[in-house]
Structure 1
Amino acid sequence: MASIPVEVFHLSRDAQGTLHARIQQMVAQGILSGRFARGEKLPSTRALARHLGVSRITVSAAYTELVANDYLSARGRSGYYVSDEAPEPPRFAPPRPQAGTVDWPQKLTQRYADGPAFDMGRPADWARYPYPFVYGQVDPTLFDHANWRLCAMQALGARDFNALTQDQFDADDPELVEFIARQILPRRGIHVHPDEILITLGAQNALWLATQLLARGQKVAVEDPAYPTTRRLLHQVHAELTPIPVDADGLPPDAIPQGTRVIYTTPSHQCPTSTTLPMARRTALLDRAADLDALVIEDDYEFEMAYLKPPSPALKSLDDAGRVIYVGSFSKSLFPGLRLGYLVGAAPFIREARALRASVLRHPPGHTQRTVARFLSLGHYDTLVRRIGRALADRRAEIERAANEHGLTIAGMAPHGGSALWMRGPEGCDMAEVAQTLRAQGVLIEPGQPFFAGPDAPRNHYRLGYSSIARDRIAEGIARIAGAF
Structure 2
Amino acid sequence: MHTTEHELMWRQLLPKPDRSAAPLQVQLRTALVNAVLDGRLPEGLRLPSGRELATLTGVSRNTAVLVYDRLVSDGYLEARPRDGYYVCGAIGRAEVAPIAGSSAPNAPDWGARTSHPVDTHRWLDRPAGWQQFRYPFVFGQFDPSLFPLSDWRECSRQALEVAAVESWAQDGSGGDSALLIDQLIRRVLPRRGIAATPDQVLLTLGTQHGLYLLADLFVRPETVMGVEDPGYMDARNIFMRREARIAPLPVGEFGLEISNELKQCHYVYCTPSHQCPTGVTMSTDRRLALLDHASRYDQVIFEDDYDPETQYVGQPLPALKAIDKCDRVIYLSSLSKLLSPGLRLGYIVAPAKVIEQLRVARRLMIRQTPGNNQIAAAKFIQQGHYDRLLHVTRQTLSLRAAALVVAIRRYMPELEFTEPHGGSSLWVRMPTRVDLLALRAACIAQGLLFDPGEPFFLSAESQRYIRIGFSSISLNRIEPGVEVLGKILEGFSARARRH
**Structure 2 gaps, min length 5:** 490-499
Amino acid at match of 2:276: C
Aligned equivalent of 1:447, options 441, 452, 461: 452
Distance in structure 1 (CA, Å) of the matches to 2:45 and 2:10: 12
For each residue in 1:225-280, what CA deviation from the matched residue of structure 2 results, as whole angstroms up to 9, or x when unmatched? 00111111111111111112211111112444433211111111100000011111
Q: Deviations over 1:205-227 (max 9, x none)?
A: 11112222223221122111001
How many residue pairs match? The answer is 480
1:113-262 correspondence runs (5 A): 113-115=118-120, 118-120=123-125, 122-216=126-220, 217-262=222-267
Aligned in 2, Cα 1:275/1:42: closer, same or farther, shift over 3 Å? same
Give the Å deviation of 1:51.
Answer: 5.3
8 Å CA contact 1:304, 1:333 repeated in 2: no
One-letter amino acid matched to 1:106: A
**Residue 111 in 1 paired to residue 113 in 2?**
no
User: Matches of 2:486 and 2:426 in 1, distance apart?
Assistant: 15
Give the Cα separation in 2 of the matches to 1:90 and 1:230. 39
For 1:397, give the aligned amino acid. Answer: A
Taking every aligned residue pair, what percent have the same amino acid on both sides?
A: 36
Aligned to 2:375: 370
- Given candidates 345, 351, 367, the residue that maps to 1:346 is 351
Higher alpha-carbon deviation: 67-76 or 34-43: 67-76
Residue matched to 1:269: 274
Secondary structure (helix, strand or coil) at the match of 1:270 reads coil
CA-CA distance at 1:36 after TM superposition:
0.7
Contact 2:46/2:87, CA 8 A, preserved across alignment? no
Per the normalisation by structure 2, the TM-score is 0.89
The answer on whether the counterparts of 2:134 and 2:448 sit within 8 Å (CA) in structure 1 is yes
* 1:26–1:92 distance in 2 versus 1, CA, 3 Å: closer
Q: In structure 2, how many angstroms separate the alpha carbons of the residues matched to 1:355 and 1:213?
A: 10
CA pair 119-43 structure 1, distance change in 2 beyond 3 A: farther
**In structure 2, do the counterparts of structure 1 residues 96 and 206 end up closer, same or farther at CA, with 3 Å as the change threshold?**
closer
- 1:99 corresponds to: 105
The amino acid that maps onto 1:423 is V
Query: Which piece of structure 1 moves more, 110-119 or 144-153?
Result: 110-119
* Stretch deviating more after TM superposition (202-211 or 82-91): 82-91
Query: Could you tell me which amino acid in structure 2 is paired with residue 345 of structure 1?
Result: A
**Residues of 2 paired with 1:250 and 1:300: CA distance?**
14
Change (3 A) 1:94 1:453: closer
AA matched with 1:185: L
Pick closer, same or farther for the CA change 1:76–1:395 going to 2, 3 Å: farther
Amino acid at match of 1:210: L
Q: 2:477 aligns with which of 469, 473, 476?
A: 473
AA aligned to 1:433 is: A
8 Å CA contact 2:193, 2:319 repeated in 1: yes
CA distance in 1, matches of 2:111, 2:402: 51
Which whole-Å CA distance do the structure 2 matches of 1:169 and 1:400 have between them? 50
1:291 aligned residue:
296
The question of whether the paired residues in 2 share the 8 Å contact of 1:305 and 1:333 is answered with no
- SS of residue in 1 equivalent to 2:333: strand
For residue 179 of structure 1, give the secondary structure of its aligned residue in structure 2. Answer: helix
Q: What is the distance in 1 between the residues matched to 2:180 and 2:23?
A: 32
| CA shift for structure 1 position 96 | 7.5
State whether residues 262 and 295 of structure 1, in contact with CA within 8 Å, keep that contact through their aligned partners in structure 2: yes
Question: In structure 2, the residue corresponding to 1:253 is in which secondary structure?
Answer: coil
| Conserved? CA contact 1:72–1:81, under 8 Å | yes
Secondary structure at 1:371's aligned position in 2? Answer: helix
Shift of 1:439: 0.8
Give the aligned partner of residue 486 of structure 2.
482
Residue 60 (structure 1) shift = 4.9
Deviations 1:88-107 (A, max 9, x none): 42456767874243122333
Distance 1:222 1:14 in 2: 48
- The residue identity in structure 2 corresponding to 1:385 is L
Is the CA contact (8 Å cut-off) linking 1:219 and 1:241 kept in structure 2? Answer: yes
2:312 is the alignment partner of 1:317? no
Residue 427 (structure 2) pairs with residue 427 (structure 1): no
Structure 2 distance, partners of 1:356, 1:87, is 38
- For 1:19, the aligned partner's letter is L
Matching residue of 1:411: 417
Q: Which residue of 1 aligns with 2:493?
A: none
**Cα distance 1:432–1:91, how it changes in 2: closer, same or farther (>3 A)?**
closer
**Which runs of at least 4 in structure 1 moved beyond 6 Å after TM superposition?**
12-15, 75-78
Deviations for 1:447-483, whole angstroms, at most 9, x for unmatched residues?
Answer: 111001113241x211111111111111121111111
Please say which of residues 366-375 and 200-209 is displaced more in the overlay. Answer: 366-375
**Alpha-carbon separation, structure 2, partners of 1:386 and 1:27:** 44
State TM-score, norm by structure 1.
Answer: 0.91
The farther-off stretch of 428-437 and 61-70 is 61-70
Q: Cα offset for 1:411? A: 2.1
Cα deviation for residue 158 of structure 1 reads 2.4
* Separation of aligned partners in 2, 1:428 and 1:54: 60
SS at match of 1:141: helix
**Compared CA separation, residues 9 and 318, structure 1 to 2 (3 A):** same
Deviation readout 1:167-221 (Å, 9 max, x if unpaired): 2222211111122122211111111222111111100011112222223221122
Quote the RMSD (CA, aligned, Å).
2.6
Contact 2:302 2:332 in 1 (8 A): yes
Q: 1:182 to 1:425 in 2, by over 3 A?
A: same
